[in-house]
Chains A and B, each alone.
Chain A
């Protein structure tokens, strides 16, 4: 008799648990906390933590007539495509999150986007620029501009600034982002400068440390500049080795350069070069400036573009949740409502600029080109708007 009473009490508790959980909103983060680009994961996590503390210290997020506390679940995808898939599944099925922010890199965002789309869970990637991430996937969104836009920005800037007529490209073959951007760049450069103006188009693997053979080929082809759409950890090695092989010309980089860790790894070798990115920390104004200052005070370094984009992406999710006008507690229905709300956001004023969303869920926003100055800061040089 007594045992059945305990059993009943336990059962009662177990049944009551979801009712308590209903007062929190769970959002998953599918980010690289270890692996090739751990700083990217750290930036995302720090920015999201800051936002969560902001909202929760004001009592929570008001949706309809109820206020919810935010619960953010950070899962490591090890910067691997296959781990990003299992991480997404874990967040969807075990943690039962309402929406997922991340993965950041296209290499992980493209496969994870498929999983989220199949499982009908809204996902927004802060940093992924490869078109395939969101293409024909109604459940997947992003906060960054696309490579078909970024590539021409790099081409036009380099043509104008370096008076370039020829270019060389070195890219990571096993990285969707790097490969996609390299191909877009090549197509656009050759369209503007004639066939054969990309004099060398060299690839490497993700785990490679020695690029001397590729760079020897590139330098022998005598390009006006080298385009390096690579992650910051490889950029540090490539730029240094090119200098050791006698290269003194300019480099043009892409947004994957913009990590807070780039200068720590690359040092003097990267100074004086340019890359296209999502925002420039030096010389920011308004809400962007406020974000940078708060982040710097809290964590001790200037936030990179991933931090800023995660902030925007998470805010888009929160706004979509508020736009639903009230959550039902039924996971499938709520996810659907959030997706519909997210898809109907027409314009969003983020700290990385104003964005309008097209029918693919992609933002139309401006890119900036920054120069790495002698103090190692990323200085605003030019803004290019579509």
Chain B
């Protein structure tokens, strides 16, 4: 019984890691721009595909490379390329609207459309056939006292924690982090202080999208069947996780992600799986009704 509980906690940590990594991207962008970037779930999907193409390219072009070398190249390359996608989105879809002073509502709708364009662009370009992510590392199953885990599972959880520490450091301890917080505080006064607001926004998108790229590669390694719609549902759920945590606050995104992952796994572990979303979202709704700004959210102060 104890081993089952520990096993489920491990499962929950792994599943929650993906929510947390994606929720961080939502939260960062919201913190700076007050924009809900609904395309973020699909940026995650694009990240998984980029990872797939980089990995297969390396495996076919430089055959004989050990898997871990391929992985070591795939991860930074995917993060960089996904960041390019995120920045392009900002440049093409969001910035023109911001320049014209459009209401935030229109930018959110644009984000929704950008997400659908990514999904269906993928469908048109690559077809409906699913892709199988190549096995880069040999997954070893360890069993300790009835609890089974793989090296990959541990790596995913560690990666999520490392990303959180890194982002928290950037936002609270660096100059650019201070600029990000400043923009969310007052985006009209900040440019007057000589802070290049566009650079900071681009940096925010780079951070958020590269984390989505990382999540995409790790997800594709854990669940190696890729399809164009894989980002939609997990993206929405991660968004909800970010809101429950207190959107705009990266601690909130992190805690919210793991909370949602844990509730989903534990509900399935003790109830029929039909109840999963019902119970999971009821729990989140109750949290929100007590703390409408989320766990870490403070009503209208500096966010991020």
Task: Write the residues of chain A forming the contact surface with B, with a CB cutoff of 8 angstroms.
Answer: 33-36, 38-39, 42, 173, 202-205, 207-210, 212-214, 216-217, 220, 233, 236-237, 240, 243-246, 261, 264-265, 267
Q: A244 touching B269 by the CB < 8 A rule?
A: no
Binds A, one of B135-143, B198-206, B294-302: B135-143
Closest 6 CB pairs of A and B: A246-B148, A38-B128, A213-B268, A212-B11, A34-B128, A213-B269
Q: A213 touching B123 by the CB < 8 A rule?
A: no
B137 nearest CB across to chain A (Å): 13
Contact of B11 among A36, A38, A213, A267 (CB under 8 A): A213
Which chain A positions have C-beta within 8 A of B227? 36, 233
Asked, given contacts A203-B274, A212-B15, A216-B11, whether A243 binds B129 with beta carbons under 8 Å apart, the answer is: no
B117-141 interface code vs A (CB 8 A; 1 in, 0 out): 0000001000111101001000101
Q: B225 touching A213 by the CB < 8 A rule?
A: no
B82 within 8 A of A: no
A330 nearest CB across to chain B (Å): 38
Which chain B positions have C-beta within 8 A of A35? 128
B181 within 8 A of A: no
A sample of 6 inter-chain contacts (CB < 8 A) reads: A38-B130, A210-B265, A213-B266, A214-B273, A237-B223, A244-B141
Which chain B positions have C-beta within 8 A of A36? 227
Total interface residues on B, using CB and 8 Å?
38
CA distance A267 to B132 in the complex (A): 9
A230 nearest CB across to chain B (Å): 12
Most buried by B among A33, A34, A173, A213: A213
Q: B15 touching A202 by the CB < 8 A rule?
A: no
Q: B129 touching A39 by the CB < 8 A rule?
A: yes
Q: A212 touching B148 by the CB < 8 A rule?
A: no
Contact of B274 among A42, A173, A210 (CB under 8 A): A173
Q: B225 touching A233 by the CB < 8 A rule?
A: yes
The B92-134 residues at the A interface (CB cut-off 8 A) are 123, 127-130, 132
B8 within 8 A of A: yes
Q: Which residue of A lies closest to B5 (CB)?
A: A216
Contact of B130 among A210, A233, A243, A246 (CB under 8 A): A233
Q: B233 touching A204 by the CB < 8 A rule?
A: no
Which chain A positions have C-beta within 8 A of B223? 209-210, 237
Q: A244 touching B273 by the CB < 8 A rule?
A: no
Asked, given contacts A33-B128, A261-B130, whether A236 binds B225 with beta carbons under 8 Å apart, the answer is: yes
Which chain B positions have C-beta within 8 A of A39? 129
Contact of A210 among B15, B139, B150 (CB under 8 A): B15
Q: B130 touching A265 by the CB < 8 A rule?
A: yes
Q: A220 touching B130 by the CB < 8 A rule?
A: no
Q: Given A216-B11, A265-B225, 4 other A-B contacts at CB below 8 A? A: A202-B273, A213-B266, A244-B150, A246-B141
Which chain B positions have C-beta within 8 A of A245? 7, 141, 148
CA distance A42 to B128 in the complex (A): 10
CA distance A203 to B128 in the complex (A): 26
Contact of A264 among B123, B132, B152, B266 (CB under 8 A): B132
The B47-81 residues at the A interface (CB cut-off 8 A) are none
Q: B8 touching A240 by the CB < 8 A rule?
A: no
Q: Which residue of A lies closest to B269 (CB)?
A: A213
Q: Which residue of B lies closest to A213 (CB)?
A: B268
Asked, given contacts A244-B141, A246-B143, A261-B130, whether A217 binds B224 with beta carbons under 8 Å apart, the answer is: no
B244-280 interface code vs A (CB 8 A; 1 in, 0 out): 0000000000000000000011101100111010000
Q: B128 touching A244 by the CB < 8 A rule?
A: no
B4 within 8 A of A: yes
Which chain B positions have C-beta within 8 A of A38? 127-130
Q: Which residue of A lies closest to B10 (CB)?
A: A212
Which chain A positions have C-beta within 8 A of B35? none
Q: A207 touching B141 by the CB < 8 A rule?
A: no
B153 within 8 A of A: yes
Contact of B141 among A208, A243, A261 (CB under 8 A): A243
Which chain B positions have C-beta within 8 A of A210? 11, 15, 223, 265
CA distance A245 to B14 in the complex (A): 13
Contact of B148 among A173, A205, A213, A244 (CB under 8 A): A244
Which chain A positions have C-beta within 8 A of B269? 213, 216-217
Q: A34 touching B123 by the CB < 8 A rule?
A: yes
Which chain A positions have C-beta within 8 A of B159? none
Which chain B positions have C-beta within 8 A of A209? 223, 225, 230, 234
Q: A204 touching B11 by the CB < 8 A rule?
A: no
Which chain B positions have C-beta within 8 A of A267? 132, 135
Q: Which residue of B lies closest to A243 (CB)?
A: B141
Which chain B positions have C-beta within 8 A of A264? 132
CA distance A349 to B14 in the complex (A): 52
Q: Which residue of B lies closest to A244 (CB)?
A: B150
Which chain B positions have C-beta within 8 A of A207? 229, 233
Q: B265 touching A213 by the CB < 8 A rule?
A: yes
B129 nearest CB across to chain A (Å): 5
CA distance A209 to B19 in the complex (A): 13
The B272-290 residues at the A interface (CB cut-off 8 A) are 272-274, 276
Which chain A positions have C-beta within 8 A of B4? 216-217, 220
Which chain A positions have C-beta within 8 A of B272? 202-203
Which chain B positions have C-beta within 8 A of A173? 273-274
B10 nearest CB across to chain A (Å): 8
